Chain A
Amino acid sequence: MLSTNRESPPPAAGRAAMKKELPDQFKDHRHVWVFIELERDQVHPVSFELLGEGRKLADKLGVQLAGVVLGPPGEATWFAIAEAFAYGADLAYIVEAPLLADYRNEPFTKALTDLVTNYKPEILLLGATTLGRDLAGSVATTLLTGLTADCTELDVDADGSLAATRPTFGGSLLCTIYTLNCRPQMATVRPRVMAMPPRGNNKIGRVIQHKVSMIEEEIVTKVLGFLSDGQSATANLAYADVVVAGGLGLGAVENVKLMKKLARTIGADYGCSRPLVQKGWMPADRQIGQTGKTIRPKLYIAAGISGAIQHRVGVEGADLILAINTDPNAPIFDFAHLGVVTDAIRLLPSLTELFTHRLSPHSRDKLAN
């Protein structure tokens, strides 16, 4: 399937500058697809973020946007389709089968590759979640096509090729990647990197049903159990409206408490920069940034965080970034909105105290009277 007629490997620049010569078998690939991630009856919000992005690409290309739902027969699966329409899909592909109830690589890979082979999308987007990355890697390898991980920007160029931009070298640089001679062009995007599009009222569109050509007996892997994280905030950090985070500037593990206390007081979730995880002061799932979580809160308070590029890429989507740092030249002040050059260890308790005054119902009542 890959082009085989070149004599020797041309240099990168030469190859990138080459005109696209799409093999005939890919010429009828059309439309933008978004994989709608449904796990345990929940649609992952990253799917809606991708529909928003997919809508823009489809409009630029003048093609249709489709949502792809794989799930067990039942309400949740059809609800996922209705939601895909509400967030902008023109049509939906659905594969409904009991063996798609819990995520397993084998049936999902089979179902998605079959759909692609049958209905030929030119672009296929998935969330860079544990499910999405597991699935995207096997589907792309089965189809022998290109896959670009963790994109931060998607666009189509003048030729109609997908230009997928992602951070490289730990976020120090960005690179734009093309899939030249294969289809579909596949990309994953992490949760919260793209903005959530508005939810419309469109609840209907064309639905194409397809069957999975696999039976339970052919699937080796069995799910023995599932332990939910439950309501623990861990699962919600990426989607929290307010996040307080601490960095090495907190100085000692005891001071992490000051940051957590402020978070608790204002109903915020909390996170940290990478060194705190490396020191064992905080668990890995609290890390914010390139190799941690991407967040998009309304308010982000960073205490004692320098604002290295790897941290910056995880927080840039925040509406309001407030930085507390002793160093007036800390890079965080280059992208924060509001800054104060001071000792976070002294400021945090005062912030907590004054927020308490301002927000407690008691003092609100007093203000009202």
Chain B
Amino acid sequence: MHIVICIKQVPDSAQIRVHPVTNTIMRQGVPTIINPYDLFALEEALQLRDRHGGEVTVLTMGPPMAEDALRKALTYGADRAVLLTDRHFAGSDTLATSFALSRAIAKIGEAFGTPDIVFTGKQTIDGDTAQVGPGIAKRLDLLQLTYVAKIVSVDINGREITVERRSEGGTQTLMSKLPCLITMLEGTNEIRRGSLDDALRAARSQIVKWNAADAGIEDLTKCGLRGSPTVVKRVFAPPERAEKAEQIDTAEKTPRDLAEELIAGIFLRQPALESELAFDGE
């Protein structure tokens, strides 16, 4: 089977700081990582390949330096990596991103075999939209299985797949057909440590680099800013709250005293709570 997985290189946003005066993001020195949710998807893809045979192709759209993320994915055991990079993609929103990625996946299909499954993570940690996966599925007319917690079974010959997916109040078990697109939840599977062979192979591997034309994209108006119906008009810092918390004076007080004062403070502000807090009698 052929599996394509879309990954994204994201800033390790725990380390991002906002410039206090200009309200711009200070990216200098911020390390990049593979979007953590994509790693769950990658591990799932690798396990399916190990079980059923075939190949895993990783794809990313991004600046030239996104190559690092692809090389990392190769060390985990992916078979092939494709970097889609072109200045025409700059400023893409989710609609334009799903367009470019879907064209690249179609091209990967022509070049290396039609994918049976396309994977993405459930969302990225920088955009947080969860929209690109469904966008790609729609563009490629693939069946869409989002928020998948577990792949129960894949029947390659029967072209059937059964998955468990999270829904608001529980877990749905769905049976669908291949080819399909799956967005993967944080799973229980930790990404594997690649083997030494994988590491050596990754170091030697050629990464396939495509620009828009290579990926068969003729209509550049569907890419980048021009292909993005949404436009960011204003970026600003969250408003400050005027007053700070009222502090309970702690000098020479025992935890019991403080607890007493806190509880008094709560019921003073919210008298109705006293009858609502349920004591469960232990």
Mark A residues whose CB is within 8 Å of B. 2-4, 6, 9-10, 12, 15-16, 37, 39-40, 42, 44, 102-106, 109, 129-131, 133-134, 136-138, 140-142, 144-150, 163, 167-182, 220-230, 235, 241-242, 264-268, 284, 290-291, 298-299, 309, 312-313, 319-323, 328, 332-342, 346-347, 349-351, 353-356, 358-361
Contact = CB atoms under 8 A, between A and B. Distances in A.
B230 A178 contact: yes
B172 A172 contact: no
Interface centre among A104, A131, A140, A356 (most CB of B within 10 A): A140
A340 B247 contact: yes
B282 interface: yes
B277 A180 contact: no
Nearest to B254: A350
Nearest to B164: A227
B252 interface: no
Contact of A42 (B169, B171, B254): B169
B240 interface: yes
Interface stretch (B51-59, B60-68, B205-213, B259-267): B259-267
A341 B250 contact: yes
Nearest to A18: B231
Contact of A173 (B237, B250, B276): B237
Interface of B is mostly: mixed
A347 B175 contact: no
A340 B232 contact: no
B258 interface: yes
B232 A142 contact: no
A333 B244 contact: yes
Contact of B270 (A106, A299, A346): A299
B114 interface: no
8 closest A-B pairs (Cβ-Cβ)?
Answer: A137-B134, A267-B278, A146-B229, A339-B245, A149-B129, A359-B279, A146-B230, A141-B138
Contacts of B25: 169, 172-173
A367 to B, nearest CB: 11
Contact of B131 (A133, A291, A309, A354): A133
Interface stretch (B73-81, B90-98, B193-201): B90-98
Given A146-B230, A173-B18, A338-B248, A140 B131 contact: yes
Interface stretch (B1-9, B41-49, B103-111, B141-149): B141-149
Interface of A is mostly: mixed
A140 B126 CA distance: 21
B218 interface: no
Nearest to A325: B245
Given A9-B226, A138-B137, 9 more contacts: A109-B138, A167-B128, A176-B233, A177-B231, A227-B173, A266-B277, A322-B262, A342-B250, A360-B279
B229 A220 contact: no
Contacts of A141: 95, 98, 134-135, 138-139
A264 B28 CA distance: 45
Given A169-B18, A220-B176, A138 B241 contact: no
B73 to A, nearest CB: 22
A322 B128 contact: no
